[in-house]
Amino acid sequence: MIDIKLIRENADLVKENIKKKFQDKKLGLVDEVRELDLEARKLQTEGDNLKSEKNKLSKEIGILMKDGKIDEANKVKAKVAESAKRISEIDEILPGIQESIKNKMMMIPNIIAEDVPIGEDDTKNVEEARFGDPVVPDFEIPYHSDIMASFNGLDKDAAGRVSGNGFYYLMGDIARLHSAVLAYARDFMIDKGFTYCIPPYMIHGAAVDGVMSFEEKDNMMYKIEGEDLYLIGTSEHSMIAKFKDQLLTEKDLPITMTSYSPCFRKEVGAHGIEERGVYRIHQFEKQEMVVICKPEDSESWYDKMWNYSVELFRSLDIPVRKLVCCSGDLADLKYRSCDIEAWSPRQQKYFEVCSCSNLTDAQARRLAIRYRKEDGEKEFAHTLNNTVIAPPRMLIAFLENNLQKDGTVKIPASLRPYMGGKEKIEKNN
C-alpha cells in the first residue's frame, strides 16, 4: 500500500504508475480516494473542532450555573447537545469512509522502480545475466517424471486416487534427495547469517491481506472452512506477518530469516506439457529468505538475495540466469522483482526456480511494521523476500543437469553429506 500523501500531492504520478502496469481499470481509484480523503479530513476537522468547543462550553455551563444564570446555562446546554449530536453523526460516518479509503488504497499498486522494463506480461521480461554454461548432453534427457519413476521415486497415480490432481508421492532416493536439498539450502542460508525459523502454516485473514493483494489472495489461498485461517502459499506470508503491528528499534534492523514450510496453492496454473509431472502442483515444500530492513538498505539487500540464489544453484552444478521482471509481471506490492531461472537440458530453455522481490514499504504499511529511528522518529520498514529452493520443481533442474548417460544421477560434492555420502543415485531393480 502506498503513502496516501502521494495521492494528495502527486496523483498524476500514481496514475502514470498504474498505466505502466497496464491496470487502467484502476485509474478511477485514485480520484475516488482523493475525494473520500478530502471528505474524511473535513469531517475529522469538524469533529475535532466540535469536541473542543463542546469541552469549552461544558466548562462555561458550570460557571453560569454557579453564578445562578440558569437561562443562559440552558441555552449553552442546548448548544452542547446540538454539538454532541453532530459529533455522534461524524463518529458513525467517519469509520466507514476511512475503511473505504483503506480498501481502495490496498488495490492501488506500489510505485515501481524507475528502471523496471515496461511490458504487459512475462513475455517482456528481460534477461540480464547468465551464470554457468548451459549444456545439452549427447544423449536424450527423459521427462523429469520419467527420471523420477526410473528410480521408483514418483507415484502420481496413487496420489490422484488419494488426493486428486496436483499431488504426488515421492519415495526412496528421490524423496531423500528432496529432503537433502532442503537441508542443504537451510544450512547455506544459516551460513549467510540468516536465522532459521519454522513458522505457522496457517494465518488469519488480516495477515493475508497484509502480505498480498486481494486478487492474489483469491487466486492462491486455501481457506479453512468455518475458521478465520488460511493455508500459507509460501512461508514469506507468516514470516513477514510475524511483525504485524510491531514498533521495532533501529538497532533491531536488519532482520534476516530463512524459513522452511510446506506451501499450498489453489491454482495449478497454465496447462501444457509440463503439467504431466511435478512442475505445477497444489502442495510443495520450500526454503525461503526474508529481510526486514531500513529503507536505505533495501536495494543492497535485494542484490545480495538474488546473488545467494545464483551461488546456491551453481554449487549444485545447475546453470542459471537472472531475468528482470517487467512492469506488467510485477505483483501489486512489488517495487522490483527478478526471477532466477534454471537451465533445462531436455527443453533447451530456462525455467523459473526462484523469485526475488523488493516490496519497499508496501507490505509494512499494510501490516503496520515500523521502527523507531535514533532521533525518535517512526518510519515504515522495507521488506524483501526470495526463494532459496522450492522442490520438487527444483528437483527437475537438479535431475536434468546431473543425469548421466548410464541413467544414474551425479550428486555434487556440496550435497553428498546430506545424502549419506552417496556420489550418485543408482537404479535399484
Output the domain CATH number for residue 42: 1.10.287.40
Identify the residue with better confidence: 224 or 54: 224
Q: Is the pLDDT of residue 273 over 80?
A: no
Identify the residue with better confidence: 193 or 63: 193
Q: Are residues 84 and 186 in the same domain?
A: no
Output the domain CATH number for residue 235: 3.30.930.10
Mean pLDDT of the 354-377 span: 96
Q: Is 111 within the bounds of a domain?
A: no
User: Domain end: 51, 76, 105, which one?
Assistant: 105
Q: What is the pLDDT at residue 268?
A: 45
Q: Is 8 within the bounds of a domain?
A: yes
Sheet holding 247-249, edge to edge: 247-249, 370-372, 378-380
Q: Is the pLDDT of residue 76 over 50?
A: yes
Q: Is 117 within the bounds of a domain?
A: no
- The angle, 0 to 180 degrees and rounded to 10, between the axes of the packed helices 298-315 and 172-191 is 140
Q: Is the pLDDT of residue 269 over 60?
A: no
Q: Are residues 98 and 165 in the same domain?
A: no
Provide the residue range defining the domain that includes 321: 122-425
Q: Are residues 210 and 83 in the same domain?
A: no
Q: Are residues 183 and 78 in the same domain?
A: no
Backbone angles phi and psi of 174, in degrees to 5: -70, -40
How far apart CA 380 and CA 365 sit, in angstroms, is 7
pLDDT tens, position by position, 302-354:
999 999 999 999 999 999 999 999 999 999 999 999 999 999 999 999 999 99
Q: Is 158 within the bounds of a domain?
A: yes
Q: What is the pLDDT at residue 81?
A: 87
Q: Are residues 234 and 145 in the same domain?
A: yes
Q: Is 115 within the bounds of a domain?
A: no
User: Domain end: 79, 105, 131, which one?
Assistant: 105
Q: Is 183 within the bounds of a domain?
A: yes
Q: Is the pLDDT of residue 261 over 80?
A: yes
Q: Are residues 222 and 269 in the same domain?
A: yes
How far apart CA 21 and CA 14 sit, in angstroms, is 11
Q: Please report which residue ranges of 228-360 form alpha helices under DSSP H.
A: 235-241, 298-315
Mean pLDDT of the 210-239 span: 89
Q: What is the pLDDT at residue 274?
A: 45
Q: What is the pLDDT at residue 276?
A: 67
Q: Is 361 within the bounds of a domain?
A: yes
Q: Is the pLDDT of residue 427 over 90?
A: no
Q: Are residues 289 and 353 in the same domain?
A: yes
Q: Is 159 within the bounds of a domain?
A: yes
Q: Are residues 132 and 68 in the same domain?
A: no
Q: Are residues 266 and 195 in the same domain?
A: yes
As a three-state string, the secondary structure of 75-100 is: HHHHHHHHHHHHHHHHHHHHHHHHHH
C-alpha cell at 221: 489461498
Q: What is the pLDDT at residue 164?
A: 86
Q: Which amino acid is at 357?
A: S
Mean pLDDT of the 387-404 span: 94
User: What are the residues facing 333 on neighbouring strands?
Assistant: none
Q: What is the pLDDT at residue 270?
A: 43
pLDDT tens, position by position, 138-179:
999 999 999 999 999 999 999 889 998 888 999 999 999 999
Number of independent structural domains in the chain: 2
Q: Are residues 89 and 152 in the same domain?
A: no
How far apart CA 301 and CA 191 sit, in angstroms, is 16
How far apart CA 129 and CA 77 sit, in angstroms, is 75
User: Domain end: 59, 75, 105, which one?
Assistant: 105
Q: Are residues 297 and 375 in the same domain?
A: yes
Q: Are residues 254 and 361 in the same domain?
A: yes
pTM of the model: 0.89
Q: What is the pLDDT at residue 271?
A: 43
